[in-house]
Structure 1
Amino acid sequence: MATEITVPQLGESVTEGTIAEWLKQPGDAVAVDEPIVSLETDKVAVEVPSPVAGVIEELRAEVGDTVEVGAVLATVSEGGAPAAKGDEANRDQGAGEPGGGKKGAEPAKAKDADSGQAAYGNHDEGTGEGNQTLSPAVRRAVLEYGVDPSSIKGTGKDGRLTKEDVIAAAQSKEGGNKGDSASPAPSPSSTPATVSSGERREERVKMTRMRQTIAKRLKGAQDNAALLTTFNDVDMSAVMEARGKYKDLFAKKHDIKLGFMGFFAKAACLALKDVPAANAYIEGDEIVYHDYVDISVAVSAPNGLVVPVIRDADKKGFAQIEKDIADFGARAKDGTLTMEDMKGGTFTISNGGVFGSLMSTPIINPPQSAVLGLHRIEDRPVAIDGKVEIRPMMYIALSYDHRLIDGREAVTALKIMKEAIEDPTRMLIDL
């Protein structure tokens, strides 16, 4: 008996998604609730599980296809025995020959050739596990860094490779070669194909649905809002001293590290309370104000930037804010964030400093009217009481919609945040 697996409800107002990656191929065994395919929507990647245990019988869509809610993705033969490895190999080898296999059973690499997604699944993995399908981002990293994906242990969901795994493996390989000039040359089977001198290559990869949505929203923000950015710099000495003094006690009590984002989130809550326009948005000819603060935190995910929301940040303590951020970061990497995680948000904080950014002009996250940009901390000479001292300084930027927020309000909001970070006691006594 064959069971159809269909596209589930993907969230409010979301009616379709794009096939990003098949996690199972025809002939593969699947357990109840085991994911078989990853779908990309406008905001998140959603894994679709099998409702029954059995064997994948047929795939009804290709990587890159757009599928609507309710459409049939695949069929599962309930209770069927998984194919033996030898049988799998024979099936794959004969897929291109007359009678060599049923529709949908061709090798993964050939199947994905036109979609821009390569699958390294028809050879034995270093772990001895089954097929390993690489996402476009991972595939590009494999080609760029020239590493063998079968030799890398994946840290993603269900042991799948992430782009970060490939980069770490390449750096480890590079460091090992520098430290041991006598190390043996890699075997021919694991050596990437070399490009002859002077040859130039191009690769055309279709934009993911998430990247297309990011592009439209950011361009829409520029087209529709009167964007302006104001800057300030912050002496991080007090926050760094507080972290150094209490980080061990904080971690012991709350089981989470005390980071910088908790301080900036609470500082932003103070500023938004005094400058409510920065926590509002324009809808038609009306201004919608909020008496709560839901902070969208920009998080880097394998498929692009996502902005999960810390709900009621103004009512939460440092520990809960840090736990929320850590949870978002882990789930963004695993691809398990949901539509609900990113719904709403009244103000955004983006931390480019983790990537080394010194200064930037962030773009607002519509329909929000303001975004705070954080940057790297570096020692700089500053004048303190008439004397030059070296202090850990950070540039901060507030981009805002000038249709709603006046320059005086924007500067005031940023100044409140600066004062709160330089004197954290203000956050305790609500100044």
Structure 2
Amino acid sequence: MAITDVRLPALGEGITEATITKWLVKPGDSVTTDTPLVEIATDKVDTEVISPVEGIVSELLLQEHSVPKIGQILLRILTEKEDSISSFPSPTNGAESVPVMVPLNQPLPVEKAAAEKTIQKFVPPFVRYLALSEGITPQELYTIPSTSTDGLLTKEDILKYVLKRPDKAMPVNDYRKKQTTPELVNVEPELNLAPDETA
């Protein structure tokens, strides 16, 4: 048996801490390498921390609404094999696992090998709203390149993409106005030019 410490990972440029909004596991729960452990929130992104190992939750070190720093231990997982820890080396001493983050409301990656080759994009709610207002579909949103080294999609990334997009889609707000605002037509009354027969 071995104990694996799961720490709060880096969440983006300039982010030094996060708030634990909800624990998704409790001591004694069995987890796999794709099990969401805890929901966390920052000013820029809401996300989940995913278990990096398979085992049993041993201990939750923090309460909900706590504000841990980046790198602080969140929980411990009891693994069955001694070599399970070494398969997830830490940059420091090789005895801790590196958790995986997945944005909320996004499906887990099907192929881990493909996921490791790309940086996971994080789309804050206000950036998602801006993209929608510019007529960008959810599928198209995740193809927009991020200028952040941490994969955080920013407002500047959206605006830059919109300016360079060859076939600009009609913004949603303009589309709604076009559909809901009736077109006013100036109709002049018809004049009766026939002579008065009663005269």
TM-score by length of 2: 0.51
**Does 1:340 find its partner at 2:140?**
no
**Does 1:387 find its partner at 2:199?**
no
Tell me how far 1:379 sits from its aligned partner. Answer: 4.9
**Does 1:378 find its partner at 2:180?**
yes
Number of the residue aligned with 1:307? 127
SS in structure 1 of the partner of residue 18 of structure 2? strand
Tell me how far 1:10 sits from its aligned partner. Answer: 0.8
**Does 1:50 find its partner at 2:47?**
no
Spell out the pairing of 1:4-403 with structure 2 (5 A cutoff): 4-79=5-80, 305-308=125-128, 321-322=136-137, 323-325=139-141, 340-342=152-154, 344-345=156-157, 347=159, 374=174, 375-376=176-177, 377-383=179-185, 386-387=186-187
Pairs aligned (count):
126
In structure 1, how many angstroms separate the alpha carbons of the residues matched to 2:74 and 2:126? 26
The letter of the residue matching 2:182 is R
In structure 1, how many angstroms separate the alpha carbons of the residues matched to 2:155 and 2:14? 12
Query: RMSD of the alignment, in Å?
Result: 3.6
SS in structure 1 of the partner of residue 184 of structure 2? strand
In structure 1, how many angstroms separate the alpha carbons of the residues matched to 2:180 and 2:33? 51
The letter of the residue matching 1:73 is L
SS in structure 2 of the partner of residue 67 of structure 1? coil
Contact 1:19 1:64 in 2 (8 A): yes
Per-residue Cα deviation, 1:181-210 (whole angstroms, up to 9, x for no partner): xxxxxxxxxxxxxxxxxxxxxxxxxxxxxx
In structure 2, how many angstroms separate the alpha carbons of the residues matched to 1:64 and 1:48? 15
Tell me how far 1:45 sits from its aligned partner. Answer: 1.1
Change (3 A) 1:67 1:39: same
Q: Matched residues, percent identical?
A: 29
Change (3 A) 1:379 1:344: closer
The letter of the residue matching 2:180 is E
Number of the residue aligned with 1:415? none
- Give the unaligned 5+ runs of structure 2: 82-104, 108-122, 144-149, 161-171, 189-199
Per-residue Cα deviation, 1:355-402 (whole angstroms, up to 9, x for no partner): xxxxxxxxxxxxxxxxx955553252502xx438xxxxxxxxxxxxxx
In structure 2, how many angstroms separate the alpha carbons of the residues matched to 1:26 and 1:74? 9
Per-residue Cα deviation, 1:244-286 (whole angstroms, up to 9, x for no partner): xxxxxxxxxxxxxxxxxxxxxxxxxxxxxxxxxxxxxxxxxxx
Tell me how far 1:35 sits from its aligned partner. Answer: 1.9
The letter of the residue matching 1:35 is P
Number of the residue aligned with 1:188? none
In structure 1, how many angstroms separate the alpha carbons of the residues matched to 2:158 and 2:8? 31
In structure 1, how many angstroms separate the alpha carbons of the residues matched to 2:27 and 2:42? 24
Change (3 A) 1:52 1:381: closer
In structure 1, how many angstroms separate the alpha carbons of the residues matched to 2:51 and 2:155? 27
Tell me how far 1:72 sits from its aligned partner. Answer: 0.5
SS in structure 1 of the partner of residue 153 of structure 2? helix
Tell me how far 1:43 sits from its aligned partner. Answer: 1.5
The letter of the residue matching 2:65 is G
Contact 1:44 1:339 in 2 (8 A): no
SS in structure 2 of the partner of residue 344 of structure 1? helix
Change (3 A) 1:339 1:78: same
SS in structure 2 of the partner of residue 42 of structure 1? coil
The letter of the residue matching 1:306 is F
Tell me how far 1:46 sits from its aligned partner. Answer: 1.9
- Give the unaligned 5+ runs of structure 1: 81-155, 159-298, 329-337, 349-371, 389-431
Spell out the pairing of 1:387-426 with structure 2 (5 A cutoff): 387=187
Change (3 A) 1:16 1:78: same
Change (3 A) 1:346 1:37: closer
